[in-house]
């Protein structure tokens, strides 16, 4: 087997990287160049990871290829080969989708071609026909280019005697500009909501005969961002007033910031991050994204700077890392139970019995949480329920963790000792749900929201400038907030860009959960003026 090259030989200095990229840029396509650039920037990050302490093979595999399922039945399979965990069967819900799920489809009522309500029955001739509940509707899905275009060829007539020409007027459907407002909205949804980079969309549109250059896409997205910015600012203010917040971050690439870091002689921080903050407002969660050199704790601190002084400190759920703690903004700290559990998942192969004990204890807590949700318990009732059922389980787990260390049953500096130490040192925040009404068990909802940023990072590879990152943060915040509130982001963003004056004047009336009322008022005002 051929030996691998020395990693140090693959790590270039900033000057060497710039020279190499400048040499290959003219001969590569945009997609190929961004791929080469990402590979070159990967090796310094990989070396930093490999040189870090407490790095296991399982953790390295997870960082490189993503985490697989962490269900207890998978991490700690049953002792008998081929046996299934109790209660595990075929997943329900497979099959055709109901027509009710097509919320973005146009609805068309089909009338009977020969009959109508009140007609005599053709069968008996005595009764009258009455309208009945409709049977299962028929759904038809059609296709078209993401951005179709219409070319209006205006007829020109010329007098053969005097030479006067008469040109047909431009039809109203041609609009006032080449690009309709919805073009910028759809481009933003494709890139920031689904990870479709500009250059790929440019190639797709060119192949379909409707060119849409990447530079034009950005101009349209930037203009749409300017129109929706007032709502984004108001969402930040609302998030600051929330009784509870989740936050976390993931790495990100921003070309301008990377260049800035490389030009610094001794940079205090070399990482670039996208932080996700999810505010638990009553009935209306808000997702916010921030990309730059700040950690999640610093971004949360800026958001909480807008918090009203008469409000108590919010419940804060994170992963327990010190960099995610706000330095000045007071909060009630909670720690993600799944993060504590994950340290054991990574060493399940080496310590199967110990890991099974911890995972089964945590599974009991989530079983009680599922019961509380099924019964729709309010925060106070949920707290009492967990104190009655979950607290004995957590106390037994804490006693077991203490016995492993204090009884010298494990090596404190080993992998198992490290996983135990993580939970013991954060036991107070890990058990916040046993003391505070409404305290969550984990940070899963924030990590799920951060998948939007991760998808963008994997597909689009990077932001070019800090301003571009801010535009991406704005649209990801609005799109994910719509999804959390089960609102169609296309309908919502179109309403914002079509009523910019109303949005700028009263952004609090144009939020995902109340914009329909404002939209009806705006339509009524237009009708009254006409």
Q: What is the DSSP string of 112-152?
A: -SS--TTPBPTTTSSSB-------SPP-------SS-----
Q: What is the pLDDT of residue 414?
A: 86
- Percent of the chain surpassing pLDDT 90: 56
What are the residues facing 156 on neighbouring strands?
A: 167
Question: For residue 5, how many C-alpha atoms fall within 13 Å in the half-sphere facing its CB?
Answer: 6
What are the residues facing 274 on neighbouring strands?
A: 250, 291
**Coil vs helix vs strand at 273:** strand
Instruction: Report the distance separating Cα 436 and Cα 456, nearest Å.
Output: 36
Contact 418, 256 (CB under 8 A): no
Which residue, among 453, 516, 517, 444, has the nearest Cα to 480 in the 3D structure? 453
Contact 258, 246 (CB under 8 A): no
Mean pLDDT, range 368-391, rounded to an integer: 95
Angle at 52 between CA 46 and CA 58, to 5 degrees: 75
- Residue 47 located in a structural domain: no
Among 63-72, 209-218, 280-289, the range scoring the smallest mean pLDDT is 63-72
What is the torsional sign of CA 510, 513, 518, 523?
positive
Instruction: Report the distance separating Cα 459 and Cα 455, nearest Å.
Output: 6
Strands 332-335 and 273-279: unpaired
**Coil vs helix vs strand at 306:** coil
Q: How many domains does the chain have?
A: 1
Q: What is the pLDDT of residue 421?
A: 92
- Residue 423 located in a structural domain: no
Mean pLDDT, range 79-106, rounded to an integer: 64
- Residue 259 located in a structural domain: yes
- Residue 397 located in a structural domain: no
* pLDDT band at residue 432 under the 50/70/90 scheme: very high
Return the DSSP state at 191. I
pLDDT at 239 over 90: yes
- Give the pLDDT confidence of 272-291 residue by residue, as tens digits: 999 999 999 888 999 999 99
What would you report as the CA-atom Rg of the chain, rounded to the nearest whole angstrom?
Answer: 29
Instruction: Report the distance separating Cα 179 and Cα 171, nearest Å.
Output: 15
Domain span at 243: 181-336+443-530
Torsion from C-alpha of 237, 241, 247, 252, nearest 10 degrees: 0
* pLDDT band at residue 115 under the 50/70/90 scheme: confident
What are the residues facing 287 on neighbouring strands?
A: 278
What is the torsional sign of CA 192, 196, 202, 205?
negative
* pLDDT band at residue 59 under the 50/70/90 scheme: low
* pLDDT band at residue 49 under the 50/70/90 scheme: low
pLDDT at 387 over 70: yes
* pLDDT band at residue 465 under the 50/70/90 scheme: very high
Mean pLDDT of the chain: 87
Q: What is the pLDDT of residue 226?
A: 96
Neighbours of 135 (CB within 10 A): 6
- Residue 301 located in a structural domain: yes
The interaxial angle of helices 489-498 and 466-484, nearest 10 deg, is 120
Contact 281, 301 (CB under 8 A): no
Mean pLDDT, range 19-46, rounded to an integer: 74
pLDDT at 245 over 90: yes
**Coil vs helix vs strand at 275:** strand
- Residue 103 located in a structural domain: no
Q: What is the pLDDT of residue 277?
A: 96
- Percent of the chain surpassing pLDDT 70: 88
**Coil vs helix vs strand at 234:** helix
Contact 468, 197 (CB under 8 A): no
- Residue 77 located in a structural domain: no
Strands (E), 252-388: 273-279, 286-292, 315-318, 332-335
Angle at 366 between CA 362 and CA 367, to 5 degrees: 110
Instruction: Report the distance separating Cα 363 and Cα 361, nearest Å.
Output: 5
The residue among 347 and 431 whose pLDDT is bigger is 431
- Residue 523 located in a structural domain: yes
Mean pLDDT, range 430-452, rounded to an integer: 93
Q: What is the pLDDT of residue 21?
A: 77
pLDDT at 524 over 90: no
What is the Cα 41 distance to its own chain's centre? 25
CB-based burial of residue 529 (10 Å sphere; 0-12 exposed, 13-18 middle, 19+ buried)?
exposed
């Amino acid at each position: 087997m051929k030996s691998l090259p020395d990693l140090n030989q693959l790590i270039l200095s900033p000057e060497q990287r710039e020279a190499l990229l400048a040499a290959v840029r003219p001969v590569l396509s945009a997609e190929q160049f961004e791929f080469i650039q990402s590979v070159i920037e990967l090796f310094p990050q990989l070396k930093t990871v490999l040189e870090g302490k407490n790095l296991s093979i399982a953790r390295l595999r997870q960082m490189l290829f993503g985490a697989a399922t962490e269900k207890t039945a998978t991490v700690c399979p049953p002792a008998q080969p081929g046996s299934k965990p109790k209660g595990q069967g075929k997943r329900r819900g497979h099959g055709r989708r109901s027509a009710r799920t097509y919320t973005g489809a146009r609805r068309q009522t089909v009338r009977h071609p020969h009959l109508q309500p009140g007609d005599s029955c053709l069968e008996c001739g005595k009764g009258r026909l009455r309208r009945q509940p409709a049977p299962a509707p028929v759904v038809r899905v059609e296709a078209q280019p993401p951005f179709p275009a219409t070319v209006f060829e205006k007829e020109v007539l010329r007098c053969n005697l005097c030479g006067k020409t008469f040109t047909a007027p431009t039809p109203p459907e041609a609009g006032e500009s080449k690009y309709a407002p919805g073009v910028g909205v759809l481009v933003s949804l494709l890139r920031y909501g689904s990870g479709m980079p500009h250059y790929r969309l440019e190639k797709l549109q060119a192949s379909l005969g409707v060119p849409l250059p990447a530079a034009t896409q950005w101009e349209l997205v930037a203009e749409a961002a300017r129109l929706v910015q007032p709502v984004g600012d108001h969402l930040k203010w609302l998030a600051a007033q929330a009784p509870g917040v989740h936050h976390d971050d993931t790495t990100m690439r921003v070309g301008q910031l990377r260049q800035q870091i490389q030009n610094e002689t001794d940079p205090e921080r070399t990482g670039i991050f996208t932080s996700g903050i999810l505010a638990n407002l009553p009935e209306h969660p808000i997702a916010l994204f921030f990309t730059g050199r700040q950690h999640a704790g610093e971004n949360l601190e800026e958001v909480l700077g807008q918090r009203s002084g008469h409000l108590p400190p919010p419940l804060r759920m994170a992963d327990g890392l010190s960099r995610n703690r706000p330095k000045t903004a007071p909060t009630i700290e909670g720690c993600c139970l799944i993060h504590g559990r994950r340290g054991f998942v990574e060493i399940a192969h080496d310590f199967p019995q110990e890991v099974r004990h911890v995972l089964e204890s945590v599974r009991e807590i989530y079983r009680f949480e599922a019961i509380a949700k099924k019964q729709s318990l309010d925060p106070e009732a949920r707290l009492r329920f967990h104190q009655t059922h979950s607290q004995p389980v957590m106390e037994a787990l804490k006693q077991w963790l203490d016995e492993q260390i204090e009884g010298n049953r494990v090596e404190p500096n080993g992998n198992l000792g490290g996983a135990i130490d993580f939970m013991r040192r954060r036991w107070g925040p890990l058990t916040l749900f046993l003391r505070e009404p409404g305290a969550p068990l984990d940070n899963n909802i924030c990590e799920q929201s951060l998948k939007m940023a991760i998808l963008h990072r994997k597909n689009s590879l990077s932001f070019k400038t800090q301003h571009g990152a801010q535009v991406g943060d704005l649209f990801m915040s609005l799109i994910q907030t719509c999804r959390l509130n089960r609102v169609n982001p296309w309908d919502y963003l179109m309403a914002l860009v079509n009523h910019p004056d109303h949005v700028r004047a009263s952004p609090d009336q144009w939020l995902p959960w109340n914009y329909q009322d404002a939209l009806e008022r705006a339509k009524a005002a237009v009708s009254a003026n006409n």
